[in-house]
Structure formats: C-alpha cells, structure tokens
C-alpha cells in the first residue's frame, strides 16, 4: 500500500511512535526513526525493523525542541530516501503540577516539543509533498486536544494547539493531495503515562494505584488502557489511499472518554 514511500516518525524510539513506525514499515514504508535513548538499543530497533519488514530504516537524533533541528531532520530524510511522504509528529513530553507551582522551564519544554516541533517539521515537509501532489501528515494529539484535566496546563494547551494546527494545515493543503489529521488517544500504556503516575499521585494526594484506577481509567468508560498497536493501526489507515478524503479531523481512540 505504501511501498517505496518514506515516513518520518518523531519520538519513535519507544511507545506510540515506535509502534507507528513498525506499522508503516509493515506496509512497505522506508522509515526515519527519531528520539532519545541508548545508542545500542536504538541500533537494535533500527536493524530489527529493517530486517523484519524488508525496508530501509535510518535514525536521526535531532533535538526537536530546536526548530532548526526539526528542519534538518526533514532534510536528512529527503537526502537519504529522496522524499518525505508521511510525516508523523509524535514526539512529546509531560509534566504534572498545579498551575501556581508549574515550572516555567517545563512549560517552555512541553510547548516546544509537543507543539512547536510539529509546526517546524510540517513547514519543512510540505513543499516536497506539494511538489509530488501527495502527502500524509499525522499528528499525535490526545483526548486532551478536546477536553482538559487538572494539573496539565502545558500539555493541554499544546494538544489544543495541535488540533488548531492540524485543521489549518489541512485547509491549506487540501488541493494538493495532502491530508493532515490528528489522532486523539485516551490513556495509552506507554512510558510517558507510567512516568506521570507518581507526579499525579503527589498532586492529588493519592496512592499510585488509586491514580491508575480512580483517575486515569476513570476517564475511559471501557476501563482499559488503549494499546500502542491500536493507535498504530489508525495511523496506518490515515496514511492509506482509503483515507484520502479524511483531512482536518480529530480521530478519537479513547475508549469513549470524550463521549461522556
């Protein structure tokens, strides 16, 4: 379906991003991985995806909090594989604290990585997509792009921003064979979610188990975490020709959270 095309997936050395990269590789996409981690482990991931799916996989360690490095990541992919056909803006970070205690540097980091990086990467990738009259931009947003939760001011603000960016880019590229959509997961069991549980417990004065069952899963009527494979399957669909008329959308995969 996507054989011979190239996908850049940010934040793809673990969690949702890694699952999306594997899903797209399974459809024949060459992949550019990006993210932090142990160099040896990242090389194992890169080589493993390449061997399993018979595609080419490269890795770039761009620091996406810097706009110039976002642009350099896109140029690296274009130089390596000839094009960027699918861009998945997935990289993200979280911090949980009451607004009056929220560190200003954490705000700046979250806005830079969760929102501004998507702008810079999209800005760099769109000219090539327009020239080829085909492209897929998929932004990993969140149910928090649609609703809010306490103690997550920066994250909620960034994800609401991603929703606006997604709609704007979709309108600007609609006549060029390009789609731009956002995936809005509920709570997915990833290292990002796991790491925020202690902070949430502290902020709410609860145990970690109480946070997991009474706060996190309380938001999802299914009472189950979303899996990274489910999110990846949705991303693969949005990259396909079957989804060519879907653009500017917020695709909820949240166990019914936002329906309430």
Residue 130: C-alpha distances to residues 136, 173, 241 (Å) = 11, 8, 16
119's tokens: 């702008």
The DSSP letter of residue 113 is I
Catalytic residue flag (residue 155): yes
Given the residues 76, 155, 187, 225, the one annotated as active site: 155
Check: CB of residue 122 under 8 Å from CB of residue 90: no
Torsion of CA 96, 101, 107, 108, to 10 degrees: -140
Please report which residue ranges of 90-214 form alpha helices under DSSP H.
104-111, 117-132, 153-173, 191-204, 208-210
Q: Which helix (H) or strand (E) holds 33?
A: strand 30-34
The DSSP letter of residue 241 is G
d(CA 238, CA 138): 8
Residue 12: C-alpha distances to residues 1, 44, 225 (Å) = 21, 13, 20
Q: DSSP characters for 71-111?
A: HHHHHHHHHHHS---EEEE---------GGG--HHHHHHHH
Q: Which helix (H) or strand (E) holds 47?
A: helix 39-53
> Which residues are known to be catalytic?
155
């Amino acid at each position: 379906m996507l054989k011979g095309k190239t996908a850049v997936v940010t934040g793809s050395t673990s969690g949702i991003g890694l699952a999306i990269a594997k899903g797209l590789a399974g459809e024949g996409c060459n992949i550019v991985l990006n993210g932090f981690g142990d160099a040896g482990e990242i090389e194992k991931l890169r080589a493993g995806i390449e061997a399993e799916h018979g595609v080419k996989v490269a890795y770039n360690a761009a620091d996406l909090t810097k706009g110039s490095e976002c642009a350099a990541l896109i140029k690296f992919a274009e130089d390596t594989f000839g094009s960027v056909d699918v861009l998945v803006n997935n990289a993200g970070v979280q911090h949980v604290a009451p607004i009056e205690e929220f560190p200003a540097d954490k705000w700046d980091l979250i806005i830079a990585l969760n929102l501004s990086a998507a702008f810079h990467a999209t800005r760099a990738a769109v000219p090539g997509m327009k020239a080829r009259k085909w492209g897929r931009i998929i932004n990993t947003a969140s149910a928090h792009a649609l609703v809010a939760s306490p103690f997550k001011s920066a994250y909620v603000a960034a994800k609401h921003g991603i929703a606006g960016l997604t709609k704007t880019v979709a309108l600007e590229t609609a006549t060029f064979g390009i789609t731009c959509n956002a995936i809005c997961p509920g709570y997915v069991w990833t290292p990002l979610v796991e790491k925020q549980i202690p902070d949430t417990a502290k902020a709410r004065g609860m145990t970690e188990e109480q946070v997991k069952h009474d706060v996190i899963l309380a938001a999802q009527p299914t009472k189950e975490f979303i899996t990274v494979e489910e999110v990846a399957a949705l991303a693969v669909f949005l990259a396909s020709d079957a989804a060519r008329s879907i653009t500017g959308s917020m695709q909820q995969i949240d166990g019914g959270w936002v329906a309430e």
